[in-house]
Amino acid sequence: MKFRLYLVLILFLTTSIGLAQQDALEISGTYNEVIFSDFVRDVEDQIPVRFQYHPKMVDSLYITGSFEERSINDVLKTIFQGSDINFLLAEDNRIILTRNIMIRTSLPINFFDRTETDNGASDYLIFDFEQETEEEIKSISTLENTVFEIGNKSIITHTNNASIEGYITDTDTGEPIIGALIFIENPRIGVASDQFGYYSLTIPKGKQELKLQSMGYKDTKRQVILYNDGKLNIEMEEDIIPLKEVVIESERDLNITGMQMGLNKLDMQSLKKVPPVMGEVDVLRIALTLPGVQTVGEAANGFHVRGGSADQNLVLFHEAPIYNPTHFFGFFSSFNPDVIKSVDLYKGSIPANYGGRISSVLDVQTKEGNNKNFVGSGGISPVTARLALEGPILRDKASYIVGGRSTYSDWILKRMPNADLNNSSAYFYDIFGKLSFNLNDKNSIYVGGYYSKDRFSFNSDTLYGYSNTSASFQWKHIFNNKLYGVLSGIYSNYSYDINSEKNEVNAFDLNYAIDNYIAKLDFSYFPASKHKIDFGISSIYYEIQPGILRPKGERSLIIPETVEMEQGIESAIYFGDVYDINPFFSVYLGLRYSMFNCLGPQTVNIYAENQPLEEENITGVREYGERENIKTYHGPEIRFSAKYELGSESSLKLGYNRTRQYIHMLSNTTSISPTDIWVLSDYYIKPQIGDQISIGYFKNFKNNTIESSIEIYYKHIDNMLDFKNGALLLLNDHIETEIVNGTGRSYGVEFLMKKKVGKLNGWMSYTYSRALIKADSEFPEESINNGEYFPATYDKPHNFNILSNFKFSRRVSISGYITYSTGRPITYPVAKYYYGNSARLHYSDRNQFRIPDYFRFDLSLNLEGNHKIKKLNHSSWTFAIYNVTGRDNAYSIYFVSEDGVVNGYKLSVFANAIPTVTYNFRF
């Protein structure tokens, strides 16, 4: 109530003069979709006014709202808010309605002056409702009840549909809201806002109620009358009490109505509820709680989606591909949680606009700076500290966000009693910055940059370092209501170096680097209510420096060695259309055509015909010149999905997609090591091709508060790369001799059940899945396990997760996470023998034994500061215990020959319960 008075006050102030005499003209009444003429009658009954208007002007205007003793000015203003109807309240208590034919966003500058001169008096007040900026009208309920007229009524078209476009933004920060669902109920038509908060919705003309839903925001709605194509920007209010937050939340109903299958959306609010490890909220770690996502172990770098290998995930951070998304060998992800807006993980049904990796897309979207106020956030945990600052450069027009994170582990290490540790060093940091410019209604520009760095050494012998660098530029242009395009230029680099100075004769420095230069043009087109079309082109120029070895220091005898650079261009063109055949049945058809050119200069080894690719079979070389095409690979990638709704609470979805991958990581270690190399497809290395078919049944219970789903998938991968036994991958200029072509096969069923509201919320999932690889060749050197299918290192058939959050009060909540999975396969010795004064082991077939099963229970307690909105500093404490039961889960089982005998060991990375405290703040 208070708020409303305040609002009224503002209106008075802004509309200034001459209102005193009308103060008595107050009306009361509650109207629910009352036609305008009835409203007029009611008002004329209450107060001595007379309306003058052309009936046609208001024929489709309905009034909804509740007013209590409010001045007629005020009421009319509310009613006509956002419409193109103006009114004049004349001295003789006549109310004259006029209409601007043009859709106007603001009054001409001299509007008032002109009116006054024209009339020669100030007796008439002219209200223009678009004069007030939106933040002055904060009453959401008023906005929800206002009927907005959209489109130029005077243009007569013969179509039944028209489109509305606009941006959905956060009321407080002005930040765009990604993935907000905007829809009408009948017929059921809806879209989600894109990465810029932009939406375009084509719906039948006439009166419509637009409903909006988004994670972490209060549901809202808008009443519109749609005459023609037009514009409506909508602000959504953040849910001030986010403690009820669910961990993984797709938009309500979207579970049923959305096209996507195998998509998980995560927002930062939810992520913060998952018990952290080492006090850090970690995107990648959360991804591992999702069904279908596996890791080989606790501290393992990389993840595996639906039986794919770790290099088959496209990790995008602010649009740029990131090759090593972790710090500290996988203990932390290299993304500062304070600058992350949301995370989408596509496990199946990958839309046609993504390409280049087979198994999944992990799209980490960054926040846009607050364009209204300066704010900051950060946190301090036992190992790291982080800070992010954001604010407007030019209010509502331009904003910035910068975030940084670093560890003081080096400082901690130096204080360790263990000399192994205090001779060691390990540090990392990452910084991210982004500028957003809304140049005008049609053009926006985004510029971002990112750098992450890791450096570590053990016992001061060899020093390792790696870094990710990226920069991106995006220009978004809206052509019209139905078409917009984004032009992007992206640079991404991953590099590492290893150096050692201990023995000056052997002191060396080794460098490896991948450079990506990406140009992309993406369009979204909304031709009619039943279609949403995306299309575009992209091109990536790759440059890989596979290794440069240099002597370090003057006395070093190391021979400088450089493995030839690899170059290639990956180009793609794509088209995708979501077609709503009827309100229940929709299909998505996407086609991507990709092509890869492996380019010179390069020396290609020629091997004897009908012989395995072995070093001794090299018969010669062929030199390719600068930019000369060495080999071209190309092919279509079909992306298809279909959804059929079986009533309002369940649906059936089907998907098929093919993906092609032209860059491959080679690793002969179990988990990704920071020194693994990536290679491009070349004369010998063929692109990997993945086909996945999946089917899912989605059902909601209890008024959509409980969601459940079953998804079944089968995936086949051609030309999956595996390494030969004893492969040497670093500094190898005939890498094709170290690898074999395999065939991957994986399948599984994923059950998921979520409860999204209530004091107790959370979800549980069970996955049964297998991931198998076969490498068969006529040559025994190129076969693994005699050409039979064998389990991949990440094949963990049973996987069970429960994550739940219990809210004691608005400020206190507790979260628990339980996970169980089958132990991963390892290569196990089959015999022992004595050789060279020592017992040795003989290993045979790969991955025929499993380490013990994995189980872990984590707990965390979140204490929020008080929720006064005006409080300057919002803080929260998180007390977490990782691995509460202290179970010593096996990371690996291994054997070593020591003093002549073989000993078997089990290595546990976290064998104890690990408590941490994190302090987070916002200001």
Partner 1 sequence: MLIKKIGHSIAFLLILSSCIYPFDPPSEDYENLLVVEAFLSDGDEAFEVKLSRSIPINTDGRIPEENAQISISDNIGNIFDLYEEEPGKYLTSSDFLAYANRIYQLHIQTSDGEEYASDSVFLRETPPIDSVFYKYEERTTGEFGVIVPGLQIYLTTHDSNNETWYYRWDFEETWEFRSYFRSDQIWDNGIVREREEQIHLCWKSDESTRVLVSTSKNLGEDIISEFPVRYISNSTDRLRSKYSILVKQYALSEQSYNYWKEMEKVNENLGTLFDPQPSVIKGNIHNIHDENDVALGYFDAASVQEQRIFIKRGEYPYFVIPDPFADCEQADTIVGYFLVPEMILRGYEFVGAVPAESGGFGGYRLASLPCVDCTIFGINVKPDFWD
Subset of 718-747 contacting partner 1 (CB under 8 A): 723, 725-726, 730
Tokens of 833: 């023998």
CB of 672 to partner 1, least distance (A): 8
Yes or no: say if 384 and 337 are a contact pair by the CB < 8 Å rule.
Answer: no
Residues 762-791 that bind partner 1 (CB under 8 A): 780
**Least distance from partner 1 to the Cβ atom of residue 566, Å:** 21
Give the separation between CA 139 and CA 155, rounded to whole angstroms. Answer: 32
Shortest approach of partner 1 to residue 456 CB, angstroms? Answer: 8
- Out of 451, 458, 697, 714, point to the residue binding partner 1 (CB under 8 A): 458
For residue 649, which phi and psi values (nearest 5 degrees)? -115, 10
What's the closest the beta carbon of residue 345 comes to partner 1, in angstroms? 25
Query: Quick one: which segment of 149-157, 305-313, 595-603, 668-676 binds partner 1 (CB under 8 A)?
Result: 668-676
Closer by beta carbon to partner 1, 808 or else 834: 834
Phi, psi (5° rounding) for residue 514? Answer: -120, 130
Q: Name residues whose C-beta falls within 8 Å of residue 102's C-beta, 6 or more positions apart in sequence.
A: 84, 152
Binder to partner 1 among 482, 840, 874, 887 (CB under 8 A)? Answer: 840
Q: Which of 498, 540, 642, 792 binds partner 1 (CB under 8 A)?
A: 498
Instruction: Please identify which residue in the block is written with the tokens 């404490």.
Output: 877
For the segment 554-593, give every residue that binds partner 1 (CB under 8 A): 557-559, 561
Min dist CB 282 to partner 1, Å, is 14
Is 121 a binder of partner 1 (CB under 8 A)? Answer: no
- Contact of 519 with 488, CB cutoff 8 Å: yes
Residue 760 CB, shortest distance to partner 1, in Å, is 31
Contacts (CB under 8 A) with partner 1, residues 792-831: 793, 827-831
Site string for partner 1, 542-561 (x = CB under 8 A): -------x-------xxx-x
> Nearer to partner 1 by C-beta: 245 or 298?
298
Judged by CB under 8 A, the stretch of 176-184, 631-639, 687-695, 841-849 that binds partner 1 is: 841-849
For the bound state, the minimum distance from the C-beta of residue 254 to partner 1, rounded and expressed in Å, comes to 38
Q: How far is the CB of 612 from partner 1 (least distance, A)?
A: 14
Residues in region 18-37 near partner 1 by CB under 8 A: none
Out of 836, 869, 872, 873, the only residue in the binding site for partner 1 (CB under 8 A) is: 836
Calpha distance 330→308 (Å, rounded): 18
Q: Give the burial class of 84: count Cβ atoms within 10 A of its Cβ; 0-12 exposed, 13-18 middle, 19 or more buried.
A: buried
Rule CB under 8 A: choose which of 244, 734, 906, 922 binds partner 1: 906
Q: Check residue 66 for interaction with partner 1 (CB under 8 A).
A: no
Q: From the CB of 734, what's the least distance to partner 1, in Å?
A: 14
Which phi and psi angles does 786 have, rounded to 5°?
55, 30
- HEC readout, 440-485: CCCEEEEEEEEEEEEEEECCCCEEEEEEEEEEEEEEEEEEECCEEE
Binding status of residue 896 toward partner 1 by CB under 8 A: yes
Burial of 474 (0-12, 13-18, 19+ CB in 10 A): buried
In angstroms, give the least distance from the CB of 860 to partner 1. Answer: 16
What's 67-111 look like in SS3? Answer: EEEEEHHHHHHHHHCCCCEEEEECCCCEEEEEECCCCCCCCCCCH
Which of 640, 857 has the CB closer to partner 1?
Answer: 857
Of residues 400 and 428, the one with the C-beta less far from partner 1: 428
Beta partners for residue 877, in sequence order:
863, 919
Residue of 572, 776, 749, 531 lying closest to 658 (CA atoms):
572
Residue 205 is a binding residue for partner 1 (CB under 8 A): no
Distance (Å, whole) CA 396 – CA 170: 12
Nearer to partner 1, 109 or 559 (CB): 559
Determine whether 108 is exposed, middle or buried from the number of CB atoms within 10 Å of its CB (0-12, 13-18, 19+): exposed
Site string for partner 1, 845-884 (x = CB under 8 A): xx-xx-----------------------------------
What is the contact mask toward partner 1 in residues 276 to 295, using x (rule: CB under 8 A)? --x-----------------
Residues between 313 and 342 with contacts to partner 1, criterion CB under 8 A? 328-329, 331
Question: What does the longest C-alpha to C-alpha distance in the chain come to?
Answer: 115
Nearer to partner 1, 280 or 570 (CB): 280
765 or 916: CB nearest partner 1: 916
The residue count for the chain: 923
Q: Are 681 and 663 in contact (CB under 8 A)?
A: yes
- How many whole angstroms separate alpha carbon 424 and alpha carbon 142? 62
Shortest separation between residue 506's beta carbon and partner 1, angstroms = 7
* SS3 at position 884: coil
Region near partner 1 per CB under 8 A, out of 39-47, 514-522, 572-580, 843-851: 843-851
**68-107: contacts with partner 1 (CB under 8 A):** none
Contact 265, 249 (CB under 8 A): yes
296, 302, 306, 307 alpha-carbon torsion, rounded to 10°: -60
Residues 367-426 that bind partner 1 (CB under 8 A): 383, 409, 413, 416-421, 423-424, 426
> Do residues 242 and 229 lie in contact, with contact meaning Cβ atoms separated by under 8 Å?
no
Nearer to partner 1, 551 or 816 (CB): 551
Residue 465: count other Cβ atoms within 10 Å of its Cβ: 18
Interface stretch with partner 1, choices 183-191, 458-466, 695-703, 711-719 (CB under 8 A): 458-466
Closest contact distance (angstroms) between CB of 838 and partner 1 is 4
